[in-house]
Amino acid sequence: MIKPYYDQDGITKNKGKPGPKKGYKQSPEHIEKRKRMGQMHHHWTGDGASIKTGRTRALRSFPAKPCELCGDTNRIDRHHIDGNTLNNLEANIVFLCRRCHMASDGRLEKFIELAKRNQPLAVASRWSDKAVL
């Protein structure tokens, strides 16, 4: 239901939906202007972008493929070979599953050590008297 509103003269008017009127179609030129991406976009920061932005660009540019080391199809990452996330050339991107990605970066061993150190604490907290069921 559209709620009425009153103009300056006190005349009741119906407030329509915002935006173009029904039947209005944008020209193809206007649509192309709105579809600007990458370097053509007005917010493009280029090499001044953050690390997270580089990773997001890689996610959008390259659809997921199976892991190139083990063939897994779950949780695929785009690994930048040279370590520069802003370098999203096809030759610099390798598709790896999360485990192979951590192993190639040297993070897997640290993660396993951390899990082994924290396992007794996790088990103890699970079976402690303070646990609320």
Q: Which residues of the chain have pLDDT under 70?
A: 1-21, 124-133
The answer to whether position 40 is within a domain reads: no
The answer to whether position 28 is within a domain reads: no
User: What's the number of domains the chain is made of?
Assistant: 1
Angle among Cα 90, 91, 97 to the nearest 5 degrees reads 80
pLDDT for 42 equals 73
The answer to whether position 117 is within a domain reads: no
**Alpha carbon 4 to its chain's center:** 41
- Burial profile 18-53: b = 16 or more Cβ within 10 angstroms, e = fewer: eeeeeeeeeeeeeeeeeeeeeeeeeeeeeeeeeeee
Tokens for 76? 């695929």
The answer to whether position 5 is within a domain reads: no
pLDDT for 133 equals 47
Which residues, in sequence order, are CB contacts of 70 under 8 Å at separation 6+? 97, 99, 100
The answer to whether position 80 is within a domain reads: yes
Residue 54 is part of which domain span? 50-107
Tokens for 25? 């179609």
